[in-house]
Amino acid sequence: MLQIVKICKKISINFRIHLMKKIFALFCFLSFAGAMSARAQVFFEDHDMSHYFLLQKTIVTVHANYFVPKQTPKRDPVFIDSASQLFAYDTYSRDLTVSIVEADHKYWSSPRLSGQFFTDQKTSSQDYYKTDRMEVRITHNGRIKDWKPVETMPSFEDPWIRSNKDGGYRISWWLFKDTLAVGDSLLIELRRKDGLKLQRIGFVRKPTDFKPFVIQIGHDTTQRSEQAYINSYIKMLRLSENGEAFYKDRPGNNGPEKRERYFPGSRLTFFFRRPSFSKDEQPFEYRITGGRFKMDWESSGPVIITGALQAGDDAVLEVRYREKPQEVYRYGFYVPEAYYQAPWFKILEITGIIFVIMLVVFIFITRRRKRELSRRKLEMKALYAQLNPHFVFNALSSIQGLVNDRQTDKANEYLTGFSTLLRNSMQSGQKETVPLELELRHLDNYIRLEKLRFNFEYGLELDPLLPLNDLEVPPFLAQPMVENAVKHGVAAKGEQGELIIRVSREGRDIVFSITDNGPGFNPTAVSDRQGIRLTRDRIALFNKTNREKQVQMNIQSNQTGTTVVILYKNWTENA
């Protein structure tokens, strides 16, 4: 069946009855065409043929057979945001009416009014737009008339608007009821009698017959003979004589200038509107080009019928007026080959092969990355396993020192704390990362144990805005650096020794620094310091495993002390 684009919703005043007759004739025409054609298209823009300006109780109605705003509204209703705003239209109709009525307040939202709505929300005053306080001025083709009171314009009883008070028809006034020639311009201005501008509506009459206008495109896939097919269209044309008049004001730029797909055996029929400027029985010229079609321009009437299409056809129908050959209507159509010969199938086939190759490569790379990640995790655990003895040896050395100094109570306290620390170390060592708060707690416990022996000064400075529980870091990464600061830095200074740990945030980075005031050492010659070497190896492995988050370590040392900075780059989400 035909897919009929809604032509209009409801047309006001005395054009409605005349228009309904044309719609009925058009319905007969399209219904008959749908019965004899498997598919048909009707091409024209779906525009409302009445526009309403709802100014409180006052309604301004614009009506023509076909007109369009120069700027298409994005929503309906459109809210008027400027008192002097100009609403400009291109009209393709010869006849144009603009009327005004002051309706009851309850009426203006009635579903009877159907079309494009413009409403004013500038004022809630019910007297702002009263017609007895309004004047109108008409400018036609640049000729400006004097301002006139609205209620002195020609009046009529609007059969579509009744009063809520007495049930009678409301009196309306014609602001304009005349014809426009092609090229004419019209400006209607409304103001209050006190000079306040209210509304401006402008029109320009545009030509319609600048390009052939197609009313219907149908195709038939039945097995009827060519003559039977043509005869059925002849009957359809007789039914459509009145229906064709409905399209007389449509601009000749409709229809899709694109390629449409059809099936083998389809016969296409194009029904064009007769041009108003020609009485010739064959006012058109057409040709079909592309593929097996090689035609010169041929004369034609309003109906153009192609032969049965074949698989592989890819052509363009071109239609023009004989008297105006410069404007050409084009319609492309094609019939695809077998699906496995069609370009889309070949593209799909190539795409499928590429997809399979990419999938295989992706699986291979993913598996290799998993194996590499597993290997690096094993290396990380192996390095961590080497750190544990180093940590234990340093702790046992401290316990031995306390025993040798006959500080038995401190040795027992150290041994108790060390057992807890060793247990936590074994638990954290099974994880890839631990909360920064837990890492700091382990370091704090270890440093307090070392203070039992060396009695140095210790400070911990934290950025109060750091979410310690939400930040995850590799476990015991700073532990060897702290051990090195105690053993080679503050141990020899005793109570004069100072160890400070600072944790701060710089942008998305976390800065972890360990500072002591020991004698210092040469950072480039630390091959004998196993803790530093193992820490650097752990950092290198971590950076290979993680692309976004990285860890950097920098050691600065001189005779007045040593500072180790561990930088956790891109460790936080927001700067």
**pLDDT level of residue 453 (50, 70, 90 thresholds):** confident
Residue ranges of domains in the chain, CATH in brackets? 15-44+209-334 (no CATH), 50-205 (no CATH), 352-569 (3.30.565.10)
Question: What DSSP letter does each residue of 360-386 carry, written as one string?
Answer: HHHHHHHHHHHHHHHHHHHHHHHHHHH
Task: Give the model confidence (pLDDT) of 172-197 as tens digits.
Answer: 999 999 999 989 999 999 998 988 88
461 vs 421, which has greater pLDDT? 461
**pLDDT level of residue 419 (50, 70, 90 thresholds):** confident
pLDDT higher than 90, residue 460: yes
332 vs 425, which has greater pLDDT? 332
Contact 264, 306 (CB under 8 A): no
The pTM score is 0.45
Mean pLDDT highest for which of 42-51, 346-355, 445-454? Answer: 346-355
pLDDT higher than 90, residue 552: yes
**pLDDT level of residue 407 (50, 70, 90 thresholds):** confident
What pLDDT does residue 367 have? 84
**pLDDT level of residue 166 (50, 70, 90 thresholds):** low
Contact 87, 69 (CB under 8 A): yes
Average pLDDT (412-433) is 72
Contact 149, 100 (CB under 8 A): no
What pLDDT does residue 108 have? 45
pLDDT averaged over the chain?
77
Task: Give the model confidence (pLDDT) of 8-22 as tens digits.
Answer: 333 333 334 344 444
**pLDDT level of residue 257 (50, 70, 90 thresholds):** low
Residue 154 burial by CB count (10 A; 0-12/13-18/19+): exposed, middle or buried?
exposed
Q: Which of 463, 387, 473 is CA-nearest to residue 422? A: 387
Mean pLDDT highest for which of 5-14, 21-30, 127-136? Answer: 127-136
pLDDT higher than 50, residue 127: yes
What pLDDT does residue 138 have? 96
- Angle, CA 360 vertex, CA 354 and CA 365 arms, to 5°: 120
Q: What percent of the chain has pLDDT over 70?
A: 71
**pLDDT level of residue 48 (50, 70, 90 thresholds):** very low
